[in-house]
Amino acid sequence: MGILIVIVGFALKLDSILIIVSAAIVTALVGGLGPIGLFETLGTSFVANRSMAIFILVMLVTGTLERNGLKNAAAALIGKVKNASPGVVIGAYGIMRSVFAAFNVSFGGVAGFVRPIIMPMATGAIEAKGETPNEEHVEQLKGMASGMENIAWFFCQVLFIGGAGGLLVQSTLEPLGYKVELVDLAKVEIPVGIFAAVVGIVYYILKDRALRKKYYKSTK
């Protein structure tokens, strides 16, 4: 019944939150969980996944800032930087993301940081040169910025000793007969993380340069 509500709700393009809440309530009632059981399950899940609360708070703060001019401020800021380009913006973000990933610090990922801050800065770099952002180019930039986020986070998070990535590698190797320390994993990962970030940055800068030559008169 819950799945049916979700399918019909989205097919009719109803409010997403209303659909999910309705599906949860109906599932609980039909499954014999009852109102009290539903709240107990929600409470237990919330406590067991407290990190999600941080993500929700980041999303709320980002949404509020975006509504009050965050995008415009980001675009105006990059417009003051001489010779800035979308590829350079994404590359600079890759460096910053790699450094903070090594300390296990997250900015909210694609939804919480790339979309409201990096993308306006990337398009602002185009507008600063007197060009109108090409729709196809912008779509490519979205994928490039998201890709840079994934590369930096994936390869550099293991540099944080005790992080989820390192613990996963350690627990995977142990049953295979390889007992390794987290410090040793971090040491091995340093050149890998640096190489991955550099390759990603160079690739995206070159790709952006080729796209700007294709879509705009000015390629400076």
What pLDDT, in 10s, does the model give residues 30-50? 888 888 888 888 777 766 666
What pLDDT, in 10s, does the model give residues 117-135? 888 889 888 888 888 999 9
| Other beta carbons within 10 Å of 47 | 9
What pLDDT, in 10s, does the model give residues 157-176? 888 887 777 888 888 888 89
Number of H helices and E strands in the chain, helices first, is 11, 0
Question: What does the domain layout of the chain look like in residue ranges?
Answer: 1-49, 51-215
Give the model's pLDDT for residue 24.
86
Q: Are 148 and 201 in contact (CB under 8 A)?
A: yes
Q: Which token pair is 12? A: 């009719």
Over residues 185-202, the mean pLDDT reads 94
Q: Are 38 and 25 in contact (CB under 8 A)?
A: yes
CA 182 to chain centre: 25
Give the model's pLDDT for residue 190.
93
Q: Which token pair is 167? A: 């613990």
Give the model's pLDDT for residue 10.
86
Give the model's pLDDT for residue 60.
65
Please state, in angstroms and rounded to a whole number, the distance separating the CA atoms of residues 81 and 122. Answer: 12
The conformation of residue 112, written as its DSSP 8-state character, comes to I
